[in-house]
Structure 1
Amino acid sequence: MAPAATLPTVDARPQKDPRSIPAVPDLDCESYDSEDVLTQDIIEGLKNAGLCVVRQIIKPEVRAKISSELRPYTIDLAPTPGDFWPKETRKLTSMVSKSETYALELVGHPVWQTVGNHFMTSTLKDYWNSEEITTSVSKPQLNNTQGFIIGPGARAQGLHRDDFVHHNRQPYAESHTLGRDTSIAFFLADTPTTRQNGATRFIPGSHLWDYDILPSEEAAVQPELQPGDGVMMLSGTYHGGSRNQTDESRAVWSAVTTRGWLRQEENQYICNDVEKIKKLPIWLQRFCGYEMSKPFMGYVDLDDPIKVLHPGMKGDVDQFY
């Protein structure tokens, strides 16, 4: 019998100093006068470390309203099935139609939307359409929405990347380039998130590693969060929930953005109450998936899918390209 294959450890990374782990950017929203500057700093932090902590990105009164709208749905949640998550974990889904405040203020947060647009917009340049050179831009879409309620005694989750759902594999890169990532996540703390109650472990810089490299627990860090603090993370970054050693649950709300031409991890068309989706701003309805990914993807009867929700609406005249 052939010996079992042994995966290389973190020290096998093909770079000059394989033990060099970048610091996690930790930004305080209240220290910024300009939303544009904050957004740019988040983008630079994500490119370098694969994640960025953003303090008080959601104001206390807004965070409290999101919580009050979502918490009733968590009361009767059954333990999450399977062994990917600890049995003490309860997960809430289909959240865009469960909380209008979550949809508008977290999914629709302008900083988050700009960051997602930066990393997840796809541009197909200079392809021939008959005798014309054409460029098509595919805008990002909502990938999934999840609430995590991690109960006392929950074990640590294994370190993993989230982009395996889109079959993404990448080689080692010296620095980040657009196109490497298939999704980006935004986690919002609803309760204090500490090392004792299982704050998520991340390996900064692992979004640039060769995907054959085994994650190392020694390289992981655990940012602690207060309610209203957020973490944004590129999906190629190794991370995992940690052991909850307290007698209280920790709660985190999240939203994930992906490319317009990839399949959504959570089927937004089926899982949400369509009548509630129709009450959201049109741009947010489109972000949920009721929009063409140019060129040509996602049409309904050769027309703009937003018309399924609003039959009398004028569609995108340039919807195909």
Structure 2
Amino acid sequence: MSSPRGIQRIARSEGVEKFIEALEMDGGVIITDFTDPATVAQANAEVKPWIEQQKNSQGAKVGALSGNTRTVTRLIMRSPTVRESFYADPLYQSLCSHFLSLTTTTWYGSAPQTSTSPPLLSIAIAFDIPPGTPAQGLHRDDKNHHARHAPATAYAPHRDVLLGLFVPGCATARANGATRVVPGSHLWGDGRPDFGLGAEVVDAEMEVGEAFVMLGSLYHGGGAYEEGGGSGESRTVYAMFSCTGVHRQEEVSFLSYPVEEVRTYSGVVRERLGWRQSEPNLGWVDLKSPEFLLQA
């Protein structure tokens, strides 16, 4: 199992096709001009009070999280900047549509019926990772969907059910536990992975304003943030994943969002939360697409 290359770093001006090619080849790509430091600072200011509420907690002990990592869930509601500037970003949403939208033609009697199911937001969460946090085991995030993968030499449409977006709240490097990824591992099968001698595992190091997009089938994991490494400050990252519209979302936070709040969200966010049915007949209320419930 050899990785074809490291993580490509691409600017928006190179066009969406370049990002698609990089994701199909490597499983992940860094957007070098995703946002700007001022916007990241605004997101940090919105999220910090929620992080501070957990100051005296014992840290996360769920799944792959460990140590004293603090989390902020329901992030779409708690940070307008994360919601509208990061998650709703047109480039990220274009990539979600490309990799996750499903269009099929079925038959109703003798008449063909073509339907498209748009992606859904699966989870939006902030991680605040302090010094002393051990590395995560390398894993695939689509495990929650029981996804299965046949070994492949080239990418095929509809191979993935998840597409993730990671926006760092500070500069990330190996010293403060930057996410480790295995480029090319999205084409591996489901057998026990062989990560070689470590040369295939690379660090997704980023400056403030950059972002990392990855397929759910890519092996990755948070790096070790050893005591004395980095600046000594915690490392904050905003993680968002979208899933296909026919899979269950990981975080069902939308159940707790008041309708009055959802009405203020942009159209693409409302749709991705599930306030539009997946055609032809998934996610309706009273036999209608649920956006009618948002009418004042």
TM-score range, shorter chain: over 0.9
Q: 43, 46, 51: which one pairs with 2:28?
A: 51
TM-score (norm 2): 0.93
TM-score (norm 1): 0.86
Which AA in structure 2 matches 1:285? R
Instruction: Determine the structure 2 residue equivalent to 1:14.
Output: none
CA distance, structure 1, for counterparts of residue 270 and residue 3 of structure 2: 42
1:270 aligns with 2:245: no
Larger deviation, residues 275-284 vs 49-58:
275-284
Structure 2: runs of 5+ lacking an equivalent: none
Aligned CA distance change for structure 1 residues 220 and 262 (closer, same or farther; 3 Å): same
CA distance, structure 1, for counterparts of residue 259 and residue 182 of structure 2: 38
CA distance, structure 1, for counterparts of residue 62 and residue 115 of structure 2: 40
- Is the 1:96–1:277 Cα contact (8 Å) retained in structure 2? no
CA distance, structure 2, for counterparts of residue 19 and residue 99 of structure 1: 40
Instruction: Determine the structure 2 residue equivalent to 1:5.
Output: none
Instruction: Determine the structure 2 residue equivalent to 1:124.
Output: 104
Which secondary structure state, in structure 1, belongs to the residue aligned with residue 176 of structure 2? coil
Which AA in structure 2 matches 1:272? Y
Which secondary structure state, in structure 1, belongs to the residue aligned with residue 293 of structure 2? helix
Which structure's CA Rg is the greater one?
1
- Is the 2:182–2:201 Cα contact (8 Å) retained in structure 1? yes
Which AA in structure 2 matches 1:39? V
- Is the 1:186–1:231 Cα contact (8 Å) retained in structure 2? yes
Report the identity percentage: 30
TM-superposed deviation, 1:20: 4.3
- Is the 2:2–2:184 Cα contact (8 Å) retained in structure 1? no
Which secondary structure state, in structure 2, belongs to the residue aligned with residue 104 of structure 1? helix
TM-superposed deviation, 1:28: 3.5
- Is the 1:268–1:289 Cα contact (8 Å) retained in structure 2? no
- Is the 1:97–1:273 Cα contact (8 Å) retained in structure 2? no
1:293 aligns with 2:278: yes
Aligned CA distance change for structure 1 residues 82 and 141 (closer, same or farther; 3 Å): closer
CA distance, structure 1, for counterparts of residue 17 and residue 265 of structure 2: 27
Q: Which aligned pairs between 1:225-240 and structure 2 lie closer than 5 A?
A: 225-240=206-221
Structure 1: runs of 5+ lacking an equivalent: 1-17, 312-321
- Is the 2:3–2:183 Cα contact (8 Å) retained in structure 1? no
CA distance, structure 1, for counterparts of residue 238 and residue 194 of structure 2: 25
Q: Which aligned pairs between 1:4-23 and structure 2 lie closer than 5 A?
A: 18-23=1-6
Instruction: Determine the structure 1 residue equivalent to 2:170.
Output: 191
Aligned residues: 287
TM-superposed deviation, 1:22: 2.1
* Structure 1 vs Structure 2 CA RMSD: 1.5
CA distance, structure 1, for counterparts of residue 67 and residue 3 of structure 2: 35
